[in-house]
Amino acid sequence: SRRRRRREAARNEAAAAAAAGDVEDQPLLRGIFEVKKKSCDVVLSAQRLRWSRITPESPLGGSSIGLHRKEESVEMKDVFSIKLKRRRFAGQEKGGILLGITIFVCLNKEGNKLKDATIHLGNISEDHCYVWYRSLKTILMGSTNILAHTLNGIQHTQTATLHIILGHLKSVDMCTFSSPFKPLRFGFSSMFGFGSRTLALAEKHRWIPPNQRKNFAVIKTLANLRPEDCEISFLPLKHLQQDSQENDRIQGHFLNVSIMAIPCLCSVAPRGLAPNTRLDDGSIALITVRNTSRQEFIRHLKRYASLKNQFSFPFIDTYIVEEVKVCPRIGMKHIPADNLNCTGSEENTYPWNIDGDLVEWATEVHIRCQAAEFGCCKGCNCEKQS
């Protein structure tokens, strides 16, 4: 009967959901750590971290009286940061004796109030802690981990974690960011302008749920759309430039500047933020979006989610380069006639979006290409991209 078919369909859906949940909760790592001064069996999955006290056996066999294996756990979605815990001497800034891993968790949510707590996993083995630290960091990366998505072809924490553990490596281009005075950091993708100001606004509203916060930041930044006045110099890729050619230089007002070392596959851009980039050819994609109307800029953004070329607009230029230097021009009093959106802010620092992390720098930034090796599945689609 129709009612029986509905019941069977409901049971099948429930079984499928349970199976999917079991897959997501399969152990990725298992090891022994000291938790609250007690030796514990610790298990990590993509969904949660759980631990239980190791029960010693009595001389007569079986468990000792009064000792029970009570399991505790924390959901990975509640973990917001981790770090390696070390003991350092007075005045020591780097290194130190490894004590284990500290996990920072958000607990006891009451309305808009959040309470944080820490979990200490004690273990003095460098190798043991480093494997766990890398796996935890991979899970925490979430949607901003465009490297794992690009290398593995899918956005799946278990896949990325397992390839790291198994030691599958792939040569990948990455960017080094430096100022005229010192190195700043490493990264794979960076945005200056709209992409960075959207992230800066989202970071100021961390109390809003992630999806709503992202939409709010995009809409708010579009409403206050304004270009950045800067000068960009770059060195074209060697086999693309002429013998007499020197560094190219462009300047003006830009709504967004993207500098990508990899294609940067993500949920908002299935083909990638820089689909013409290769993984390990020693090049960087430089994409500049000059000042234009808000309507045209929105058309450009919508193209990322479609099969159409998002760069086929007269106000967008793309370059394949080896290095780039971005120099904001502070305190420009004269605004050219082609400046369609408001400008004139004389801020001392400028936000950058580096792999989904917000950083603020007050000086020119020099970006160079550098090779590195990262976890990658064998035979994955990254072979087609390289």
Q: Which of the pair, 210 or 102, is modelled with greater confidence?
A: 102
Would you state the pLDDT for residue 314?
A: 94
Higher per-residue confidence, 325 vs 181: 325
Residue 221 has pLDDT above 80, yes or no: yes
| Better-predicted residue by pLDDT, 290 or 154 | 290
Q: Which residue has the higher pLDDT, 38 or 148?
A: 38
pLDDT (0 to 100) of residue 325: 93
Region 271-293 average pLDDT: 86
**pLDDT tens-digit series, residues 103-113:** 988 766 565 56
Q: Is the pLDDT of residue 358 over 80?
A: yes
Q: Count Cβ neighbours within 10 Å for each residue of 142-155 and write b for 16 or more, e otherwise.
A: eebbbbbbbbbbeb
Q: So what's the pLDDT on residue 78?
A: 77
DSSP H or E segment with residue 23: helix 2-24
Tokens, residue 134: 């890398």
* Mean pLDDT, residues 113-134 taken together: 84
Burial classification of residue 278, based on how many CB atoms lie within 10 Å of its CB (0-12 exposed, 13-18 middle, 19 or more buried): middle
Which distant-in-sequence residues (6+ apart) come within 8 Å of 110 by Cβ? none
pTM above 0.85, yes or no: no
As a whole number of angstroms, the distance between CA 288 and CA 250 comes to 10
Query: What average pLDDT does range 207-236 have in this prediction?
Result: 88
* Contact of 150 with 267, CB cutoff 8 Å: no
Tell me what pLDDT residue 187 has. Answer: 84
| Least confidently predicted of 101-115, 151-165, 265-279 | 151-165
pLDDT of residue 266: 75
In tens, the pLDDT along 337-348 reads: 344 444 444 457
pLDDT of 114 > 80? The answer is no
Least confident of 183-187, 282-286, 330-334: 330-334
Q: What is the structure's pLDDT at 383?
A: 40
pLDDT of residue 343: 40
pLDDT of residue 207: 75
Is residue 171 within 8 Å of residue 373, measured between CB atoms?
Answer: yes
Which domains can be identified in the chain, with CATH numbers?
Answer: 26-53+71-141 (2.30.29.30), 171-330+350-375 (2.60.200.40)
Q: Give the pLDDT mean for 33-40.
A: 91
Residue 17's pLDDT band, with cuts at 50, 70 and 90, is very low
Q: Which of 115-119, 244-248, 255-259 has the lowest mean pLDDT?
A: 244-248
- Contact criterion met (CB below 8 Å) for 286 and 175: no
Q: Give the contacts of 107 (CB within 8 A, at least 6 positions apart).
A: 78, 115, 116, 117
pLDDT of residue 308: 85
Residue with the larger pLDDT of the pair 294 and 276: 294
Q: Give the mean pLDDT of the chain.
A: 77
Average pLDDT over every residue of 150-157: 64
Mean pLDDT across the stretch 163-191?
79
